[in-house]
Amino acid sequence: MVVPLGPLVGKQATGPTGIRLLLAQTRPSVFDVDTGGDVPISGPFSADRTNWTTRVGTAMVVSSSVTCTSNACDPQAQVLVYDRVDGPPRSLGKAYSTGPSADHAALWMIRDAGNGQCVLERQPLSGAAPGSSSPASCDTGVVGENFGGLLLRITTPAASQVVLIDPATGRTVQQFPQFVAMTPDYLFSADGTKFSLFSGRSGAKRPVPKPATQADPQNASLSRDGRYFAVVFADPSISGTKDQSYDLWLFDLFTVSWVHPPSMPVGIDSKHAALDWTTTGDVVLATGTPGAGLGIWRPGQAAWTLTKAPLPSDWRGNTMLVI
């Protein structure tokens, strides 16, 4: 008999954590982990929109798109930049997909050029006019840019692939399997049981052992100091139970080794969970379970610290940023 996985286990916080979160929900807001206070941010948000957040350097980007229920719906997102969460946003217009530039001063965007055509543009966060554009498929997903080039997710009726291109020429530098995460210097990729680090500067490729988990990698979040990737391995269906497995591992880029946080894996819906890093090196994990708080853990600690204040009821694990 398979034993069902339990919730995140740890010790309750005994003092203030000082953590605030920018939560993407029906009305994006700043949530105070210690008090449970939830203050909406300014912006053109409404109940019929889906919102998500991205950090680009010190700026916070909220993308907001209409929740489509028909083919006539515009799938583009309104892109808003916040220098401060208590200030007004700066609109960068609409885009099908966005990803941060290597210098964190701009967003690469897939934009509508009319007549069913799209272009790839580098849009400064300042709101200044974008640089030169180049033709691109409207279905292209922008992952981001590092010193090796611009990472794009290409989708076709036959197959999907991730490619690293030289944005100045459009030349393909490297192709990767579907799971790829990036640092300013490296690309971390996974293809089944084969994991590797690809240097954007030298082009060298280094094999990486897979951690002791049967699940597949879903997403990754880089720590603020650039040392760790927090990689989520998820199994949507555990035989003999109603659980979905959420197994968090940290990949240490300094030692090229894996660290397994305590209490993992846990039985939560991986599609309704989000994580981010504090500036001091803590992983913050939140789940969309109604009434649940969140967990805080730093590499080397024996247990998670759990908070009591429940997350807003309309947050179901979209995205979040620690601010």
- Assign 215 a pLDDT band (cuts: 50, 70, 90): confident
Q: Which residues contact 23 (CB under 8 A, 6 or more apart)?
A: 29, 30, 31, 38, 53, 311, 312, 315, 318, 320
The sign of the torsion formed by the CA atoms of 249, 296, 88, 78 equals positive
Domain spans of the chain, in order of start: 10-322
Place of tokens 């849009």: 123
> Regarding beta strands 49-56 and 38-40, do their DSSP bridges make them parallel or antiparallel, or are they unpaired?
unpaired
pLDDT for residue 311? 87
**pLDDT at residue 240 is higher than 60:** no
**pLDDT at residue 121 is higher than 50:** yes
Strand locations in 75-171, DSSP E? 77-82, 90-95, 97-100, 106-114, 117-124, 134-136, 141-146, 149-155, 160-165
- Assign 178 a pLDDT band (cuts: 50, 70, 90): confident
Comparing 192 with 277, the larger pLDDT belongs to 277
Strand order in the sheet with 179-182: 179-182, 186-191, 194-199, 205-208
Q: Which residues contact 136 (CB under 8 A, 6 or more apart)?
A: 110, 118, 119, 120
**pLDDT at residue 118 is higher than 90:** yes
**pLDDT at residue 287 is higher than 90:** no
| Cα separations in angstroms, 263 against 13, 155, 260, 301 | 17, 37, 9, 12
Q: What is the percentage of the chain residues whose pLDDT exceeds 70?
A: 93
What mean pLDDT, rounded, does the chain reach? 89
**pLDDT at residue 68 is higher than 80:** no
Burial class (CB in 10 A: 0-12, 13-18, 19+), 288: middle
Q: Point out the least confidently predicted range of 150-154, 242-246, 275-279, 302-306.
A: 242-246
Place of tokens 């611009």: 150
- Evaluate whether the domain defined by 10-322 bears CATH number 3.20.20.70: no
Determine contact, residues 137/154, Cβ cutoff 8 Å. yes
- Rounded to whole angstroms, the Cα distance separating 89 from 44 reads 9
pLDDT for residue 196? 92
pLDDT for residue 70? 61
pLDDT for residue 1? 39
265: Cα within 13 Å, side-chain hemisphere: 25
280: Cα within 13 Å, side-chain hemisphere: 7
Length of the chain (residues): 323
Q: Point out the least confidently predicted range of 7-11, 86-90, 261-265, 266-270.
A: 266-270
Determine contact, residues 81/96, Cβ cutoff 8 Å. no
